[in-house]
A and B are shown apart, each in its own frame.
Chain A
């Protein structure tokens, strides 16, 4: 077995991270060296943490070098645990405290307009992600993590799930492709993850494998909450199998990944999206047939907000309910344009008002003008109203003004 392990990141442009080299020795006790830009403020506390972790694993003799660029404690702990795992294989876990504000559950049908992808091995991008208020935050263990960093990213993502404030965003992790990705689940399921993204999904069987592993972990760790799934359709086969995937247990949405899909088709991705029209429609139809949400691919030009807006409007028109984003600046544009527009809100106001009037009068049937309105329509209108209120597009007391206007 190796005696020296190096984990983490350093170098120009690396922030809020550390690079750490651990050598387990036979004698001489624990020797540490710390190079840190925050040494004056946190030097002692960094070394104290490292000693505590080494003691936790029963390591008495080691040489440890920490090159720190302002890493928070949960990052340092993840880096050191990853190094110890490499050297000793000890599967004990050194867990940072779970923030009390991170223990929430999410509803099956909550809004998922935006979900922000964050590379699972880059702490600097994680720390402020929540303050930009995406609906969901994805810690990515798959494509955004280099193959050689996959193992240590698991520890970082696990610790982030516990110690990083998500500010109410749905807590998501993208695992690696099944079957390799199944092992990722061991690291994250016990830490209140709300939703798992399953990449390059091509069959209901893959989802079943994920569900089985999650069920085992829930029993083992005594977890009661739901863990939702969002398979990502990224191939021709996946598109054709999208209905069976959409109908699988715990699946609340399908996402489509167009970079891989167009590669699979042997074509190029364009802004107009003609090449993916069939796939997008197929995924939307599978989702609607299964009663779940359809989520569109990310838009990769982070500088062009106008093109993003047009993309969102096209996406919404096709029937999608949300879109991935790779930069916090995209969140606002995605929210604003997936949100109900004025016409939708006006229509919803009329329907909800008609429903309330019918209820007030004790009528069983809701009608607007000469048209009867079915309960699902009322429900959808109510959701539009709730959403408009929560996004500040409509005042909570809208009905008073609405009735005033009607009188006038």
Chain B
């Protein structure tokens, strides 16, 4: 099986394969253009007769569970990333699979982290054929240099739900690490030594995988409540000493930035939102996990407090700053996709207005609507943007694949999408003639805020009108690009190979771009 085949040009002008890892793939057709037909994927029907009537599904070990699930060559095993860089489970799954001699597996995590770099050896020895999820850091570097047998597939959080629901991504065995669970398989993330808040990223896995294993280090007698994961989907329960390292579960990017340059970006972004009329009573917002985005939340809070207003809801990643807004009454609800610190976990456990959401409710594009498009403003990052406002979040300007997509693509459907980014990082200009990889089409990206000026997408004439006479430095994207190149010099184009190593799937499952192997 070749990694890919049948190259074509998609609706954003990118060369993409129509066959990926032996399966058919549809090229991106434009935003909202591809309408699938048919019915959703369904897992096999189970019978209670095959499960213990006393509800005790505990088996001896992960190895035992994997064997009982019928682990064999070529299967797809999924995991979730709520433990972020503190995950102790994914590596053990593949250690066990390698011991059992399984080959050609697909790993389908909802995201990968540096802690998963030991899996590189399984990419090298053929235990893992390819990854569908994200390839971050060392895994990304390895993939970029051609170290993966199959073609990597990157999806957004919503895209992963869509792919599993639609049957694009069939999961044979889902392994759901759960901070607290009961012997029946009911599980929650909001308590236990490895508490991570919620388990939303594992929802699709529980609903659609052929076999589901819950792994916990905190087994409680039935019932485990709240049951964020329903035991009725679960085949086996495994108890381990430790499933995650608590201090690494807490993300490193959840402190307000101290960098004066980033604070300036945050302040300019908040002022932009204010002058554009976005910050008003009852508005809604989402800010990512980065230090800049967090600081913008602080500025929003200040504005709301001063004016006696409040936001209707904020979308998480939650953290202590968002929780303090909730507790101070500056926002009615947090609709949370993941908790970034212990305050977020505590609040989710204790506060009924701090709700756990899943990629199904927030992001799934093949549903009857989702929350993402209702949000008034979303603040996101990017590694590169181009003069057509297309943005890249997965590769760097040297071509290396280093980041996942997360919920980024899904959030682009918000009413106003703002990317606060430095005009250049060290010497690397952020605004290019053409992005190395398109993850988001320019028509969905409204505003680029840099420390040296703000560019508004010409499609947003409403925003351009509102900012007339503003004291903020509103410029064109071309002016910003020229300014960066005056300072840094004009960058050379990276020379990349003709060979593709990964595909980027749009929220509807079509291929928006493909990533090329780097030339060392």
Contacts and interface: CB of A to CB of B under 8 A. Distances in A.
Do the two chains bind? yes
A127 B452 CA distance: 12
A70 B260 contact: no
A342 interface: no
A15 B451 contact: no
B427 A72 contact: yes
B118 interface: no
Interface stretch (A33-41, A203-211, A356-364, A369-377): A33-41
14 contacts: A15-B426, A38-B398, A39-B398, A40-B399, A40-B494, A40-B495, A42-B491, A44-B492, A45-B489, A70-B428, A128-B451, A131-B264, A131-B452, A165-B487
Given A69-B426, A70-B428, A71-B427, A42 B489 contact: yes
B471 A392 contact: yes
A128 B261 contact: yes
Q: Main SS of chain B's interface residues?
A: loop
Interface string B474-490: 00000000000001110
Interface in B417-448: 425-428
Interface centre among A37, A69, A128, A328 (most CB of B within 10 A): A128
Given A38-B428, A40-B397, A132 B264 contact: yes
B263 interface: yes
Given A128-B451, A328-B260, A392-B471, A45 B492 contact: yes
B473 to A, nearest CB: 10
A38 B426 contact: yes
A383 B287 CA distance: 42
Interface string A28-62: 00000000011111111100000000000000000
**Most chain B CB neighbours (cut-off 10 Å) among A38, A45, A70:** A38
B451 A41 contact: no
Given A15-B426, A37-B426, A70-B426, A329 B263 contact: yes
Contact of A40 (B260, B452, B487, B492): B492
A38 B398 CA distance: 8
B425 to A, nearest CB: 8
A38 B494 contact: no
B178 to A, nearest CB: 38
A16 B397 CA distance: 17
Nearest to B429: A41
B260 A329 contact: yes
Interface of A: 15-16, 37-45, 69-73, 124, 127-128, 131-132, 165, 327-329, 392
Nearest to B471: A392
B259 to A, nearest CB: 9
A13 to B, nearest CB: 12
Contact of A41 (B263, B264, B397, B487): B397
Contacts of B489: 42, 45, 72-73
B474 to A, nearest CB: 15
B440 to A, nearest CB: 22
Q: How large is the interface on B (under 10, 10 to 19, 20 to 34, 35 or more residues)?
A: 20 to 34
A177 B452 CA distance: 36
Interface in B258-279: 260-261, 263-264
User: What 8 A-B pairs have minimum CB-CB distances, sorted nearest first?
Assistant: A70-B426, A328-B260, A41-B491, A40-B398, A70-B427, A40-B494, A38-B427, A128-B261
A382 to B, nearest CB: 23
A329 B494 CA distance: 37
B494 A16 contact: no
Contact of B398 (A41, A71, A73, A124): A41
> Of residues A40, A42, A131, A132, which shows the largest number of chain B Cβ atoms within 10 Å of its Cβ?
A40
Nearest to A41: B491
A42 B452 contact: no
A70 B489 CA distance: 12
A16 B260 contact: no
A42 to B, nearest CB: 6
Contacts of A165: 487
Given A72-B487, A327-B260, A41 B426 contact: no
Nearest to B450: A131
A131 B483 CA distance: 13
Contacts of A40: 397-399, 492, 494-495
Nearest to A165: B487
Given A70-B425, A70-B427, A131-B452, 8 more contacts: A16-B426, A39-B398, A40-B492, A44-B492, A70-B426, A71-B427, A73-B489, A128-B261
Contacts of B491: 38, 41-42
Nearest to A327: B260
A42 B397 CA distance: 11
A70 B494 CA distance: 16
A311 B398 CA distance: 48
A16 B427 contact: yes
Nearest to A39: B398
Nearest to B487: A72
Interface in B362-419: 397-399
Contacts of A45: 489, 492
Contacts of A72: 427, 487-489
A210 to B, nearest CB: 32
Nearest to B422: A128
A47 B487 CA distance: 18
Contacts of B426: 15-16, 37-38, 69-70, 124
Nearest to B452: A131
A124 B488 CA distance: 13
B480 to A, nearest CB: 13
A40 B427 CA distance: 12
A392 B271 CA distance: 15
Contacts of A15: 426
Contacts of A39: 398
A392 B428 CA distance: 34
B334 to A, nearest CB: 28
Contacts of B427: 16, 38, 41-42, 70-72
A72 B261 CA distance: 18
Interface string B487-510: 111011011000000000000000
A73 B397 CA distance: 19
A304 B398 CA distance: 40
B118 to A, nearest CB: 24
A370 B263 CA distance: 50
A327 B398 CA distance: 33
B261 A41 contact: no
Nearest to A75: B427
A41 B428 CA distance: 8
A99 B88 CA distance: 54
Nearest to A131: B451
A75 to B, nearest CB: 10
B225 to A, nearest CB: 43
A397 B452 CA distance: 29
B341 to A, nearest CB: 20
Nearest to B492: A41
Nearest to B518: A40
A39 B495 CA distance: 11
Contacts of A38: 398, 426-428, 491
A73 B488 CA distance: 8
A264 to B, nearest CB: 32
A122 to B, nearest CB: 14
Nearest to A129: B260
Contacts of B494: 40-41
Which has the most chain A C-beta neighbours within 10 Å: B427, B487, B488, B489? B427
Contacts of A41: 397-398, 427-428, 491-492, 494
Contacts of B397: 40-41
A265 to B, nearest CB: 33
